Structure 1
Amino acid sequence: MINKMKQFASNVLDRSADLVQGMTGEKERREQVDRLKRLYDIYRSDISLLIEKINRTVNRFNNRIEELNKVRETKIKRNVAYLGMFLSQFGNINSVKDFTAEEQQNQIELPHKKFEAIDDYIEKIDWSKGDVFAKTFFKTMLGVTVETRNKNKKTAQRIEEFTIEGNQMLENSKLKLRFVEEDIQIIDMYQKSVESISDTIESKVMPELELIQAFLQCETLKNQLIANQELSVTTVTDPGLLATSRYQKHYKFVKNALFFFVISSRIYNTPVLTNLLTNEKHEKEREAVSNYRRIVTKQREKIEQYRIG
């Protein structure tokens, strides 16, 4: 008996709600609510997937930054120390500033507040059949019609606004993903330059400087013998020994070695990439790193030109 009464009440509500829907704009309201729910689900799902992909890419970026910082703190630091020690024989060398790490990127989160606002809005306009019947009973058909049509106008506007917001969130997420992927490419370009500089210093500059240093010591001792002076090797060498035409190649090599000291010092104490990546125009970043590589390549060619050993 109780079940039959419940079924009867439910049928009455259904018939009443259907009647009201056809006369008050309730059917349109129901369609709008369903549409807003679908949009909510689609945007939340698509943006969540994009954010997961962005954060995986950010992890790759951060791993590359960690590798780069390790190279800078070890190999580049060692190169700077060696070059500084040798070049100080020819005069004062600017002290190298403290190491400054390249910065990692933060992961991003779903814009929860935007979706919570839509969720709350849906909850407010998602009337049940009982709500529809109660509104009709207490406010009369005319009152419900006016209220529902006003709600429909506002809901239509909210759907349009949320569609714009959702598309904007999607585009921003896609743009962020593209930027992080391009940032990784820029890291690769920069790290190749850094490793090229380090390899050039270790394989070409250091051995040649050791040879030049030995030559200078021999030259100093020879001059002391000729002048019948007490033999000693000073820690500061007169660059004039190399500036004469006879030793021009040594002189030019040392001058180019100074470039590698300056650029290695900059790599060590300056977060070059972090400074570059604050610029939103990645074309400029690529150009800056490409110029960096061209300068290094040109200087490496000069080093080869003036090598003796």
Structure 2
Amino acid sequence: MKLAVDAMGGDNAPKTIIEGVERARDKFPDIEFQLYGDEKKIRAEIKSETRLTVVPTTEEILDTEEPVRAVRRKKDASMVVAAQAVKAGKADAIFSAGSTGALLASGLFIIGRIKGIDRPGLMPTLPDFKNDGQFNILDIGANADTKPDNLYQYAVLGNYYAKNMRQIDNPRIALLNNGTEPEKGDLVHKAAYQLLAANPDLNFIGNIEARELLNGAADVVVTDGFTGNAALKSIEGTAMAVMRLLKKTILASGTRGKLGGLLLKPSLNTMRDAFDYSRYGGAVLLGLQAPVVKTHGTASPDAVYYTVSQIRDMVQNNVVTDVVDYFGKHQLEKHPENK
């Protein structure tokens, strides 16, 4: 298995990227890594070149750049050249901690969509605190404007991922909405509800409200990119606010409270880690011809390691191949809202 790595993507690249890759290399002897980027900077961080190939590039795409323009103009950017390697069959998958927009553009314009998928969706794995499990949610930012067919396709994509990657026989699919009743939502969500409910291959359980996201109500939650991104940022912000409030309360509670806080520190660290969804891997851009995975810009070496493990499982379980086959056999009749 060959993995193309954008070694220059992320806030602390290439240091944290290389450290995580080397940990994964030592754990998984069946993976060869192609590291794209500034050769001098990359080699300075490598401890052992075993199964690591450095592919020199001369450009980088910054988060401040307009993604599509940057991908089209910077032909020798690390992310672009890595995507081209996947397109050419020289690598099986790509991951990056760089610009989300640029990775989406690289995936769309270079690697290409699966036939039958109108718009790929970005999907992370988040914690389910009620059952000590996880759930998937997509889209969380690849597409702000979404049609009913897009939401339907996200459900099919998420369903395959949950079955093949998380070994759930009959994943519960839910539609994120402003109420649980079937008639809730705008015209797009009402139409999407009809499409999802009409597919006997999906275990569609109806609408779900945002307050139930972390309570194990569904295995896969379908939403548009604007709402999904807002929900994800709300979860992240709430988690940080709760941790700050706990710390503030403990420090303001006198000597007894501080001693209690010291005793609780391991438990509080466990609580903090529970909100860190990077331990489940990166956010997968589902709907493309090969695995494309985005890690957070501040990803730690541990997060890089978990992402590599996730990609390895995707390739071994033929997640993309199964989706290609499904959409090749099932051509969805367009909903009137899409015409």
TM-score, normalization by structure 1: 0.25
RCO comparison, higher one (Cα < 8 Å, 6+)? 1
| Bigger share in helix | 1
Computing the radius of gyration from Cα coordinates, the structure with the larger value is 1
Which structure has the highest strand share of the two? Answer: 2
